[in-house]
Amino acid sequence: MPSGICKGCGRVTNSTTSNWWFTTTKDHATECYAAYVDDKWVKGCAYDKLNRADKYSPIHFVDKLIKKKKL
């Protein structure tokens, strides 16, 4: 999975924890749901936009990443 800098917040994210594949250019994320900071996952700039009630929402995956201490 590609990793890069989120254009929304300037932190490192990847294609599974951002809107990467839904952007028009497909070469970067414009908002992220999780960001990788100091060797751990934290809430991204668009985390609060995710729909917890939607079973297909990436929030369930993102929450699991954030709860881990390290990868």
For residue 37, what pLDDT is reported? Answer: 95
Rounded distance between C-alpha atoms, residue 45 and residue 29, angstroms: 11
Q: Averaged over 56-68, what is the pLDDT?
A: 90
Q: Residue ranges of the domains in the chain? A: 3-67
Give the pLDDT band (50/70/90) at residue 71.
low
Strands 34-37 and 40-43: antiparallel
pLDDT > 60? residue 70: no
User: Average pLDDT over the chain, rounded to whole?
Assistant: 90
Q: Averaged over 8-15, what is the pLDDT?
A: 95
pLDDT > 80? residue 40: yes
CA nearest to 39, candidates 1, 9, 68, 16: 68
Using an 8 Å Cβ cutoff, are 34 and 13 in contact? Answer: yes
Q: Please report, rounded to a whole number, the percentage of residues in the chain having pLDDT higher than 70.
A: 96
Cα dihedral sign for 41, 42, 44, 48? positive
